[in-house]
Amino acid sequence: MAAKFGTSGLRGLATELTGSTSALYATAFARYLLGNGLAKPGDMIAVAQDFRDSSPEIASTVMGSLKREGLVPIDCGRIPTPALALYAMSRGAAAIMITGSHIPADRNGIKFYRPDGEIGKADETAITELATDLASDPVATRVEEGSGDDHSAEAAALLFKRNSKILPASALSGLKIGVYQHSTVARETMVDIIRHYGAEAVALGWSDSFIPVDTEAVSPDTESLLLKWAGEHGLDAIISADGDGDRPLVADESGRPMRGDLLGLIASRFLRAEVVVTPVTSNSGIDAAGGFEVVRTRVGSPFVIAAMSEALGAGKGKVLGFEANGGLMLASDFSPEGREIGPLPTRDSFLPALAVLGTAAARKMSLSELAREYSLPVAAADRLENFATERSAALMAYLRGARDNLSAFLSPIGTVAEISDIDGLRVTLGDRRVIHFRPSGNAPEMRCYVEAPTADEADALLKQGLAAIAAWKP
């Protein structure tokens, strides 16, 4: 069982997930639901998928396994993850999303949802233990094709209804907004919702083959496309999402992507949040920028959701969370200007994008002008792909092993002033710049996050950090 849970769901090579592995984990999830009173025989369970080549086969196997365990799979088709979660929660049903999100096309993943929302780390541990116990069971690992009644239209319509009341009617009238469609399952709904609010939607970059778009570390190729389209079409903004539509990408009128944590901050103000939960990798300037309490967590939606639930349980009022990739999660009801928006404790790309577009439009500002109002440190992030997990673990063990190791590693970059070890190593340098090293929880990658006073300094620091990682030898 090479596949494993990462920061969000089960992940692995597509060749590892197709076949018996997907059958095994679907069986383990079904038995976990049934064994813990979260489902009973005959209950429906919603299944959806992204556009990866391997997703249909995995979805079929998952539905076959669920049916074998006495549950009733329903097929929600190729819809965004927030649409699946919203629809399943509205029906009091569990759900499974087949997606690898933003990771390379040769990989895939499975996300699991209880009837009350995305599973947490305790659920992951229990499901993994069940899968381990069942690994030699020929029934649990048997691959059977399955299908279910088509509920894709109902699920998509529910997401559209939710998004259609976030802004006032015609809030985006007069704007020309590009939608980078590539291979995200959010591509058609994004065009529809932009038009619903009165903007001219320009569909861009449709792809029949899967393109992994990382909204947290936007690739140079994607940046080039956005800059080109913004100039060619005279756009006020460009929006997009990752493969399963739960992480937003918003670029300003020049085609420059806005940081995901800035989108989250603007959305938090738009919604008048009282508590904001966000991982340690989000911009350090958020703590003083919003007028709300900020709770920091490890990276990964399960950690954010757990902290949101704790805050909600403590009676702290309007609670939401977001990640540095921009995915927004609502733990409580919100009502901007009287428009009711219900809880959705899983990442959503639509609400943060609409909040930013709506805020700029209401104030008659460009997105770049809006961004400049937030005097946050300039943040940047990137990753080294195909960086073996074992090598990442060895590097982190070395850096954590002794203060002298870390100081020597960073000596060409700066001196160590402060260290945070919430998730990876986040180092504040003597000149107050920040550099953060963290292995990916989803793929064989090392990620580097930086903050500095200017864009040039942030870019330079990021290059130095990535070069130091690449040059390190155990």
DSSP states of 167-199:
S-TTTTTT-EEEEE-TT-TTHHHHHHHHHHTTP
Mean pLDDT of the chain: 94
Categorize the per-residue pLDDT at 216 as very low, low, confident or very high, splitting at 50, 70 and 90: confident
Kindly report the pTM of this predicted structure.
0.89
For 175-372, CATH number? Answer: 3.40.120.10
Of 189, 381, 365, give the one whose Cα is nearest residue 266: 365
Q: What is the pLDDT of residues 134-154, one digit of tens each?
A: 999 999 999 999 999 999 999
pLDDT at position 397, please?
Answer: 96
Asked if 175-372 and 378-471 have one fold, the answer is no
| H/E segment holding residue 114 | strand 107-114
- State the catalytic residue, choosing from 22, 65, 101, 392: 101
Q: What is the largest CA-CA distance in the chain?
A: 63
Half-sphere exposure of 193 (CA within 13 A, CB side): 29
Q: Which helix (H) or strand (E) holds 438?
A: strand 434-439
Confidence of residue 108 (pLDDT cuts 50, 70, 90): very high
273-297 pLDDT per residue, tens: 999 999 998 998 998 887 899 999 9
101 counts as catalytic = yes
Average pLDDT over residues 15-33: 96
Residues facing 296 on adjacent strands = 278
Give the model's pLDDT for residue 202: 98
Letter for the amino acid at 441?
A: G
CATH code reported for the domain at 378-471: 3.30.310.50
Q: pLDDT tier at 171 (50, 70, 90 boundaries)? A: very high
Which strands make up the sheet holding 446-452, listed edge to edge?
A: 378-384, 446-452, 434-439, 425-429, 416-420
Residue boundaries of the structural domains of the chain: 4-151, 175-372, 378-471
The correct answer on CATH 1.10.510.10 for the domain covering 4-151 is no
